Amino acid sequence: MQTDLAGTQRSALRPPEGPPALAVENVTHRFGERTALDDVSLTVPRGSFTALLGPNGAGKTTLFSLITRLYDNRSGAIRVLGHNVRGEPAAALSRLGVVFQARTLDLDLTVQQNLLYHATLHGIGFRRARQRALEVLASVGLADRAKDKVRQLSGGQMRRVEIARALMHRPELLLLDEPTVGLDIGSRAALVEEVRRLIASEGIGVLWATHIIEEIRPGDRIVVLHKGRIRAEGSHESLLAGGAPDLSSAFLALVGEAPSPSATSVGGEP
Amino acid sequence: MSFLPETGPRRLPLRGYAVCMAGICWREALRFLNQRGRFLSALVRPLVWLFIFAAGFRSVLGVSIIPPYDTYILYEVYVAPGLIAMIQLFNGLQSSLSMVYDREVGAMRILLVSPYPRWFLLLSKLVAGICVSLLQVYAFLAIAWFWEVEAPPVGYLTILPALLLSGLMLGAMGLLMSSLFRQLENFASVMNFVIFPMFFTSSALYPLWKVQESSLPLYYLCRFNPFTYAVELIRFALYGQFDPISALVVAACAAVFLIAAIIAYDPSAGLMGRRGGPDAAK
């Protein structure tokens, strides 16, 4: 059993680190008869890049909806930096930045207006928000586009604006739901790079949902979700420890037609 | 450490609530300014009623002296409060239509991941919608003034609280409806099934005593239509008077609609997570 799942207990032993950026514990979610998530547990340590890898329909978006409290989790617990999203939604949500799969920018407003609107939703006044907008736009390389309408941006630029927006309130956990969908290879790579830089500079914990294996690097933590169940959780290296020649084949073996009888943990500590 | 928060509410200070509501109103105003067509059509619609319908019916429908009027009045004067309520009805449903749209394009998710309580976010959305409706109503009143619909000067002030209350009721009704409909298409047809029946079975176009003369069932329908009370509340307020029964009914309906909408949007009690799959509220 990997020790990650007991993140809260570990945190007691290692107080300086504090609770993980995200801890999902035994969450099951059903839509009517259909079970979208089945006893899902995973951890995103602080300052880590954790890839949530799963084919379409694996339950990634449902999981995101639960973490962002669009739906209520009726079982298990979801903690953001130790704050349960059910019991302390304000504390949890204020530490959380999200980039949804669907585009969520106001196309007719300018980049800056979009960012300011988001800041006010987090209670940040206009004056401070303007300052912060310049910072975050600079960090994603779009400082010169602040006054442009979002409609005039390319798909990749819009995504970067969404990331900038998610950073406006200085979250400590960043969730991205298939952020590279619809982008060309160049912008895709640039976006992944961007987010990795943020982890390095800001120490943010990142949960990156994707079904594109190329976006994962050695050293990343990987959680494989398939048909609502966690099939593996561990480091890049530990996923390969089973003898698979590369990550794709390891992944395909995990989500193949004949998966191992129980959800197995492939690895130990990242 | 660099990622420790310097900004952002961790304990949600009171000032943050004000900032949040101001931000939501600001976005609504920006969107409103970007959609001049919406403003124009919101203005043209009641004016068409006033200029054409009311002018045509002026000779057919005589309105005798009923409170709050103390003299014989032109039919245009009679329908004006009804048309004001119609502006608010349209606006209330339109801003919730924009919420359905927001939900489809995902902007709703951005709103709902705000750390502020959901009831407050929805209330802010309502307040933003009401502010927009106030602009529309006063623009309408200004034009109507040149069309001999002149209320006493104080009326333009006393109408304000009435508009806030009726706007709250109609906006909350729209909000409740937006939570019940997942897609725009459903909602568009609901607008037709809601707006026109509500408007016609009310005291907006004809006084209730006249309705009673011609059809008793219709009269009862009008009596049980909350829109009637919104119209009457506005009508009395425009002449500097207060109609307590209307105010009570409108306030009660506003409260019921608002609470129902908040429950519908609440993740733990609500319907959002139960219906459909992950696409339900993208």
Mutate to test the interface with A, among B4, B7, B20, B182 (most CBs of A within 10 A): B7
Residues across chain A: 270
Q: Which residues contact B46 (CB under 8 A, 6 or more apart)?
A: B83, B84, B86, B87, B140
pLDDT (tens digit, 9 = 90+) per residue, B144-181? 999 888 889 999 999 999 999 999 999 999 888 877 77
Query: Which residues in chain B touch residue A205, judged by CB atoms under 8 angstroms apart?
Result: none
Domain boundaries of chain A, sorted by first residue:
1-95+171-270, 103-170
> B112 touching A, CB under 8 A?
yes
Which of B107, B114, B270 shows the shortest C-beta gap to A93? B114
Helix, strand, coil % (nearest 5) of chain A? 40, 25, 40
Laid out side by side, the sheet with A205-210 consists of A96-99, A173-177, A205-210, A49-53, A221-226, A229-235
Q: How far is CA B2 from the centre of its chain?
A: 45
Cβ–Cβ of A203/B278 closer than 8 Å? no
- pLDDT given for residue B282 in this prediction: 36
3-state class of A164 per DSSP? Answer: helix
Query: Which residues in chain A touch residue B23, judged by CB atoms under 8 angstroms apart?
Result: 116-117, 119-121
Domain boundaries of chain B, sorted by first residue:
36-270
Q: How far is CA A161 from the centre of its chain?
A: 16
Helix (H) or strand (E) holding A253: helix A247-255
Query: Which residues in chain A touch residue B6, judged by CB atoms under 8 angstroms apart?
Result: 170
> B214 touching A, CB under 8 A?
no
Query: Which residues in chain B touch residue A68, judged by CB atoms under 8 angstroms apart?
Result: 109, 112-113
pLDDT (tens digit, 9 = 90+) per residue, A71-80? 888 889 999 9
CB distance A19 to A7 below 8 Å: yes
Q: Is-above-0.90 flag for pTM? A: no
- pLDDT given for residue A212 in this prediction: 86
- pLDDT given for residue A17 in this prediction: 65
- pLDDT given for residue B1 in this prediction: 35
Confidence at B268, pLDDT banded by 50, 70, 90: low
Q: What number is the ipTM of this complex?
A: 0.81
- pLDDT given for residue B142 in this prediction: 94
Q: Which residues contact B158 (CB under 8 A, 6 or more apart)?
A: B237, B238, B240, B241
Confidence at A238, pLDDT banded by 50, 70, 90: confident
- pLDDT given for residue B273 in this prediction: 46
Q: Centre a 10 Å sphere on the Cβ of residue B131 and count the other Cβ atoms it contains.
A: 15
Cβ–Cβ of B113/A124 closer than 8 Å? no
Which of A36, A100, A117 shows the shortest C-beta gap to B27? A117
* Distance in angstroms (rounded) separating the CA atoms of residues B24 and A116: 10
Query: Which residues in chain A touch residue B22, judged by CB atoms under 8 angstroms apart?
Result: 120
* Distance in angstroms (rounded) separating the CA atoms of residues B13 and A94: 12
In chain A, count of helices (H) and strands (E)?
9, 10
Over chain B, what HEC string results? CCCCCCCCCCCCCHHHHHHHHHHHHHHHHHHHHHCHHHHHHHHHHHHHHHHHHHHHHCCCCCCCCCCCCCCCCCHHHHHHHHHHHHHHHHHHHHHHHHHHHHHHHCHHHHHHCCCCCHHHHHHHHHHHHHHHHHHHHHHHHHHHHCCCCCCCCCHHHHHHHHHHHHHHHHHHHHHHHHHHCCCHHHHHHHHHHHHHHHHHCCCCCCCHHHHHHHCHHHHHHHHCCHHHHHHHHHHHHHCCCCCHHHHHHHHHHHHHHHHHHHHHHCCCCCCCCCCCCHHHHC
CATH architecture of A1-95+171-270: 3-Layer(aba) Sandwich (3.40)
Q: Centre a 10 Å sphere on the Cβ of residue B44 and count the other Cβ atoms it contains.
A: 12
- pLDDT given for residue A2 in this prediction: 40
pLDDT (tens digit, 9 = 90+) per residue, A116-135? 999 999 999 999 999 999 99
> Half-sphere exposure (CA, 13 Å, Cβ side) for A164?
31
State in Å, rounded, how far the first CA of chain B is from the last one.
35
pLDDT of B112 above 90: no
CB distance A266 to A233 below 8 Å: yes
Q: What is the mean pLDDT of residues B252-273?
A: 79
Q: How many CB pairs under 8 A join A and B?
A: 159
Neighbouring-strand partners of residue A35? A30
